[in-house]
Amino acid sequence: MVQLRTAISIDEAIKRVMTDSKTQPTETIDLNECANRFLAEDLIANEHVPAFDRALYDGYAIRFEDTMEATHTKPIVFEVIGEIGAGSIFCSTVNAFQAVRIMTGAEIPASCNAMIMLEDVEQFTEDHVQKIRITQVVSNGERVFAKGTEIRQGACIASKGTQINPGVIGLLATFGFHQVNVRKKPIVGILATGSELLEVDEPLIPGKIRNSNSYMLLSQVVQAGGEAIYLGKLEDDLEKSIQVIQEALQRVDILVTTGGVSVGDYDYLPAIYERLGATVLFNKIAMRPGSVTTVAKLGEQYLVGLSGNPSASFIGFELFVRPLIRKRLGSSHPHLLSAQAILADDYPNPNNFTQVIRTKCVFENGHIVAISNGLNMSNAITSIAGADALAILRPTQTGYQKGEMIDILLLAAEKGQKHSVFGGDEDA
């Protein structure tokens, strides 16, 4: 029996998915294991950075007030009473018209309040005593990286939901966080449907295709921050498929199927959702490719049915599954980062659905230019490889011409954004 479906807008579909309120539990892991994980709590600075007044350059630590009358015609002479290397401290008092040789990064003596660079002084020896001549006035705190200038103790150095990149790891190490509380990765299972599918190591035979979607989706899950599990293929048998999916739901937070969501006689997923008692959030979206993308919810678990066409499957994941994973990880910016770009190709045909085009981006004259990346068809996989953006062509009766400004979604940008470019999100 053919199932009648009503298409909803992309923003409405996103809104329905992003109402998810579940957040992953936390776990504590070592610093050297936390790359690309998501912080489960705000990190608060437990000390000042820098922890002491530091020299910004090689030179001499002095008291600024001793230089107030220095000129080129009337230089002031300072006696050099010691030297401080990086990692060392100078415990003696520096009195009036005395200086201490200091290296970059070393701690400024407590009795000093400024420094002067090596190249700004004249060094000489008099009566076996090292001395310097200063011909300029030095201000209070000059060339000193003062305690707490970068970060004050008690400040938030990284917010919960932040994805841990190398810079954040550097911060964690700076403050001595050798263990970090992060969100556990949501477990995302991938199931392929269709008797036409072969595994990648099987020889190609007439009427069959290799199961490329599953491996593509596994990679997308990892890139989004989840833990990916390949669960194999569903048979074209309703009862066996229900059993497989029931068993899969014991292991995963999100179950993604590829294929089996259209309206043909051999597409069982709508019937499976019904038998499971899952609530179907939507089963058709006004977009191309991927209009038959289906999302259902069973308790706190999501069942996402993606098209069997590679491009449709890829796009459906990026628009709906990726932000769901990121939200569960606590990210406040779960959606793909958007930008504006100049369209490099003509798309003259009218369309009632939003088109999502795989594109490559280049910079020309200060603008991003979006260039179509291969065959613009839902079953074309070659257009995905090498694409670094998705061009958004909203419904139009006049088509699009080369040179028009459009929205794009950046696939290669790790930093996301809070709201979807389509408008539907958890805050709507």
Give 35's strand partners.
Answer: none
CATH number, domain at 157?
Answer: 3.90.105.10
| Mean pLDDT, range 307-336, rounded to an integer | 94
3-state class (DSSP) for residue 183: strand
Residues 42 and 70 grouped into a single domain = no
Same domain (yes/no): 323, 352: no
| Residue 376 located in a structural domain | yes
Alpha-carbon span 347 to 370, nearest angstrom: 13
Residue 417, in any domain of the structure: no
Residues 170 and 117 in one domain: no
CATH value at residue 354: 2.40.340.10
Is residue 231's pLDDT more than 90?
yes
Q: Are residues 298 and 359 in the same domain?
A: no
Q: Which secondary-structure segment (H or E) carries 314?
A: helix 310-316
Q: For residue 425, is it within any domain?
A: no
What pLDDT is attached to residue 428? 44
Sequence-ordered alpha helix ranges (H) in 284-421: 310-316, 322-328
Q: For residue range 128-162, what is the model confidence (pLDDT) as tens digits?
A: 999 999 999 999 999 999 999 999 999 999 999 99
Look up residue 275 and give its two tokens.
């038998």
Domain contains 5: no
Return the higher-pLDDT residue of 377 and 403.
Answer: 403
Name the residue range of residue 137's domain: 54-145
| pLDDT score recorded for residue 198 | 60
Instruction: Name the domain boundary from 302, 328, 354.
Output: 328
Query: Could you give the CA distance from residue 293 to residue 26 in angstroms, rounded to a whole number?
Result: 31
In a domain, 201, yes or no: yes
Q: At residue 201, does pLDDT exceed 80?
A: no
- Whether residues 168 and 243 share a domain: the answer is no
Mean pLDDT of 21-35: 95
Question: Phi/psi of residue 244, each to 5°?
Answer: -60, -45
Q: Look at the chain and report how many structural domains it folds into.
A: 4
pLDDT of 2 reads 47
Residues 33 and 169 in one domain: yes
β-bridge partners, 343: 370
Q: Are residues 308 and 221 in the same domain?
A: yes
* Count of residues making up the chain: 428
Which percentage of the chain shows pLDDT scores above 90? Answer: 72
Question: Both 170 and 206 in a single domain?
Answer: no
* Residue 260 covered by a domain: yes
Cα–Cα distance for residue pair 306/323, rounded to 1 Å: 15
The pLDDT, as a whole number, for residue 381 is 67
Q: Quick check: is 421 in a domain?
A: no
Please tell me whether residues 132 and 169 are part of one structural domain.
Answer: no
C-alpha 83/C-alpha 94 separation (Å) is 12
Mean pLDDT of the chain: 90
Cα(231)–Cα(226) distance, integer angstroms: 15
Range with the poorest average pLDDT among 44-48, 100-104, 342-346, 421-425:
421-425
Position 295 in a domain: yes
Judgement on whether residues 197 and 277 belong to the same structural domain of the protein: yes
**Is it the case that residue 207 has pLDDT exceeding 70?**
no
SS3 329: coil
CB 100 within 8 A of CB 80: yes
Average pLDDT over residues 76-104: 95
Together in a domain, 107 and 234: no
